[in-house]
Amino acid sequence: MVIRVPKAELPAELSESMIKQLGAVPTPVEVVWHSPEVARSNLEFSARVGGWDAADAGLKSFAHMAVAAKVGCGWCLDVGYFQALNQDLDQVKASQVPDWRESSVFTPLEREVLEYAEAMSDTPLTVTDELYASLLDRLGPAAMVELTAFIAFVNMATRNNNANGIESQGFADSCEIPLATRSEPGTVSRA
């Protein structure tokens, strides 16, 4: 896949800030900058989403990667794995998210969150009353509402990146453990 819209030039201050933060300017920001209003709104909302703290950050990180693997967004999977490393999450677990169903490293709660993230990513949604009720019971209302909104936001971001033709940027190259490849046909893998 090739980027379908050329990268736009960002203001120098924004580029410098992102390079300082991430080591590179994220391709999605460069692509979306053709509409600075959309790009700024996306960055602002992303920052707000990143500040939510009712749900466990590790669970949200794994959910992000599960959505990326399910939808096939190599860029999101790449950056999600990189973020998991920087959040000091278990790298073995993070590396296994794309193939979580076959992996034995996840707790029952983590497995439910990964299943929920995938169910929210299906079209139409395949979230069951039983799965939702189980997570609600384990997480509580505030964390459940946050997790649901977080997964919905990640779905928007992954689908936006895919539609724009954005692929992996190499953020996860600094991770010690290679990212598992997804065993389902038609999905993006990063190895």
Residue at 179 is within a domain: no
pLDDT tens profile 122-152: 999 999 999 999 999 999 999 999 999 999 9
Instruction: Say what the pLDDT of residue 148 is.
Output: 98
Residues 118 and 141 in one domain: yes
In sequence order, what are the residues at sequence separation of 6 or more whose Cβ sits closer than 8 angstroms to the Cβ of residue 47? none
- The SS3 assignment for 123 reads coil
Does pLDDT of 177 surpass 70? Answer: no
Does pLDDT of 187 surpass 70? Answer: no
**Domain region containing 14:** 10-51
Does pLDDT of 65 surpass 60? Answer: yes
Residues 115 and 166 in one domain: yes
Residues 94 and 130 in one domain: yes
Looking at per-residue confidence, does 15 or 86 come out higher? 15
Residues 143 and 158 in one domain: yes
Number of Cβ within a 10 Å radius of residue 64: 25
CATH number at residue 73: 1.20.1290.10
Residues 34 and 112 in one domain: no
Does pLDDT of 46 surpass 60? Answer: yes
Mean pLDDT rounded to a whole number for the chain: 91
Residue 190: band (very low, low, confident or very high) from pLDDT cuts 50, 70, 90: very low
Tell me the C-alpha distance between 149 and 154, whole Å: 9
Instruction: Say what the pLDDT of residue 108 is.
Output: 98
Instruction: Say what the pLDDT of residue 184 is.
Output: 56
CA distances from 39 to 10, 27, 33, 85, 171 (A): 10, 12, 5, 26, 21
Domain count, the chain: 2
Residues 104 and 77 in one domain: yes
Instruction: Say what the pLDDT of residue 180 is.
Output: 72
Residues 75 and 107 in one domain: yes
pTM (2 d.p.) = 0.90
Residue at 5 is within a domain: no
